Amino acid sequence: MSAILITGAAQGLGRSLALALANTLNTPTDLVLLDKDQKALNLLYDELISLNSTQVEPALYPMDLSGAEPRHFQQLAQALHELGGVDSVWLNAAELPAFTPIAHFDEAQWLQLLQTNLTANFYLMKALLPVLNDNADLITILDQQTGQNPAYYGAYGVAKAGLAQLMTTVAAEHSDQNWHFYQAWLPAFQSNTRSRQFPSENPATLPHHEQIANELMAALQQTATPAWWVKLN
């Protein structure tokens, strides 16, 4: 067997991705679900088990990216190696605080958000490179809004720009490998985070995260090519 890793897997888009993968995989796979919310991970595990899939074995990996160090990602990489290596990585985890102008941004919160949204992904990618299988897919979840309307996104926006550049760099440095790097510059969609940021917005005007997850599956399987899907190599 081999493994698929989803970060930020317990709720929202990550949860929908896990369920979409469980319904589409046709080879035995360990679906490794990384998130800091143990309770939500347990609920997702139960839901996946209830599907009675013969192809998917869910595996929970509780981790808080805000406090994770390089050694923690090395331990994760070793666990994934023991599962048979990694076929797919979904860099989905993110933290978006309240909108704040740079002039009033708290310095400690700035560093914490860069750690969660950017530095942790660097640690993760560096640790996983040796355990990626041939033909592996690496998908980075990005946010159109940070480029279209950058004001007040603060450290989150800066980190997303850095994450995009990180993956562009890794793809360029490994162009001789049979790995596939993608960026998904997602539009606004329904989520708890979106509702907190835009409380007066009618969520019915936005696609649901389940729809976005299905579109991501179609893009990866090359049955559709959304405008926001970018292949780096």
Superfamily of segment(s) 2-231: NAD(P)-binding Rossmann-like Domain (3.40.50.720)
pTM of the model: 0.97
Domain boundary assignment for the chain: 2-231
How large is the average pLDDT for residues 92-119? 98
Name 49's Cβ contacts closer than 8 Å, sequence gap at least 6. Answer: 58
**Per-residue pLDDT tens digits for 146-193:** 999 999 999 999 999 999 999 999 999 999 999 999 999 999 999 988
**Per-residue pLDDT tens digits for 39-77:** 999 999 999 999 988 889 999 999 999 999 999 999 999
Q: Burial, 157: exposed, middle or buried (Cβ in 10 Å; 0-12, 13-18, 19+)?
A: buried
Give the C-alpha separation, 139 to 126, whole Å: 15
In contact, 133 and 80? CB cutoff 8 Å: no
